[in-house]
Amino acid sequence: MNKPLKIAVAGLGTVGAGTMKLLFEQARLIERRCGRAITVTAVSARDRNKDRGVSLEGITWYDDPVTMAAAADAGVVVELIGGSEGVAKRLCETAIASARHVVTANKALLAHHGTALARAAEGAGVTLAYEAAVAGGIPIIKALREGLAANGVNRVYGILNGTCNYILTVMRESGRKFEGVLAEAQSLGFAEADPGFDVDGIDTAHKLAILASVAFGGELNFDAVYIEGIRNISPLDIRFAKELGFRIKLLGIARMTEHGVEQRVHPCMVPLNAPIAHIENVFNAVVADGDFVGTTMFEGHGAGAGPTASAVVADLMDIARGCSTPTFAVPAEDLEALPAAPMERHFGAYYIRLMVLDQPGVFADVAAALRDHNVSMEAILQRGRAPGEAVPVVMTLHETEELGVVRMLEKVGTLPTVVEPPQMIRIESFNQK
């Protein structure tokens, strides 16, 4: 029997403890499938005395994870601390400099420093693996780097944050407002006490930047991701979406365009005939369009101890088997600095909701703003009359360039009959333009 693969684990929170539990409970299965055992020889965490539901007997404890990365009797360091800077970054850099493989679930670290870490790892002849960093238990990194490796991928998109998907699902089913559903999600453990990374789209953007690099062979460019969250989605918008044949989803979308790589995170009106419209609650889904395979979709749990641990251990098993793949699908030295497509050049259709005073002349003023900015209206909805009071008016716009829509809305927002800032949600038809 081959020698065990020795690993050191930094971080024993939900995912770290889940990883330890999986390694212990599935030890025989893992050994049979790898041809060797995977053994935890060292750990590091903040609280040595906390009960994590797993035995640490016989495992060396390090108070300092960076020291562990340099000194532990281990060929692999597993980073499950989190954060884009500080100790997590130093830990990974130290492990690579010490010629140790690194497995991480840290999407923020990769989004900001993934290119440099990949080049360092490949230069040192070690693996930087991160399946758990994107979509939890869904093996989308392996799918893009291996299963779809013969395809040119022109677009990848998905629901990449279970918290947002849960909130939007419950808002649609209950008719309740964002704030109340967010509070419920926090009480159930689906949202953090500080939910900003989730509901403001940052978590999705981190994951999208990684997917874009794998899909298109480019350097990670988190700064080029357009980010918009779900705080402004109202029950009124959700009701109108249903009437128009859509569901609202927070999507991360990356695609190649004539202007460069478009990376955007924002709420979308998704047509009901699109499979991703039916991914509900805390589930994630990722769709990739390949030039030979066509469209493929992957669905599953995007977070949680078990699914994320499953992805971490899958990476460990690849290392145990001696399987090696370039970090971001092409050798790190060949990653290109791809041009970024500006958001104002985005071409698509739009949902617009206005709260206007119900009085003569309103539609004429709005129509003039559309005309002046070369924006074409497809349909208009108004439900109910309340002379002299505010009523919602919804328009859908034909496909057009975003800059014209933004300038049109700036003009409409100054009209004295428009009493709230206009609401704009992009309609995602998933065509190839």
What is the architecture, at CATH level 2, of domain 5-133? 3-Layer(aba) Sandwich (3.40)
Confidence check: pLDDT of 432 > 60: no
List the catalytic residue out of 107, 207, 249, 411: 207
Tell me the CA end-to-end span of the chain in Å, nearest whole number. Answer: 54
Residue 207 annotated to the active site: yes
Task: Grade residue 433 by pLDDT with cuts at 50, 70 and 90.
Answer: very low
Please tell me whether the overall predicted TM-score, pTM, comes out greater than 0.85 for this model.
yes
Residue 397 is inside which H or E element, if any? strand 390-401
Residue (of 339, 348, 82, 336) closest to 197 by Cα position: 82
pLDDT on residue 191: 82
Model confidence over 105-139: pLDDT tens digits? 999 999 999 999 999 999 999 999 999 999 989 99
Report DSSP letters for 164-224, one per residue.
Answer: HHHHHHHHHHH---HHHHHHHHHHTTSS-SS-HHHHTSHHHHHHHHHHHHHHHTB---GGG
One-letter amino acid identity for 283? F
Confidence check: pLDDT of 11 > 80: yes
Between 330 and 48, the higher pLDDT residue: 330
CA distance 429 to 431: 6
Query: Any idea what the Cα angle at residue 218 is, between residues 144 and 161, rounded to 5°?
Result: 55
Mean pLDDT of 311-317: 97
Fold held by 344-427: Alpha-Beta Plaits (3.30.70)
Model confidence over 225-234: pLDDT tens digits? 999 999 999 9
Domain boundaries, the chain: 5-133, 140-301, 344-427
CA distance 250 to 141: 20
- Work out whether strand 246-257 and strand 38-44 pair parallel, antiparallel, or are unpaired: unpaired
One-letter amino acid identity for 182? L
Confidence check: pLDDT of 38 > 60: yes
Model confidence over 51-82: pLDDT tens digits? 888 888 899 999 999 999 999 999 999 999 99
* Alpha helices by DSSP H, 125-177: 140-142, 162-174
pLDDT on residue 151: 96
Model confidence over 176-229: pLDDT tens digits? 999 999 999 989 888 888 899 999 999 999 999 999 999 999 999 999 999 999
Model confidence over 328-373: pLDDT tens digits? 999 999 999 999 999 999 999 999 999 998 888 888 889 999 999 9
Tell me the CATH class for 140-301. alpha beta
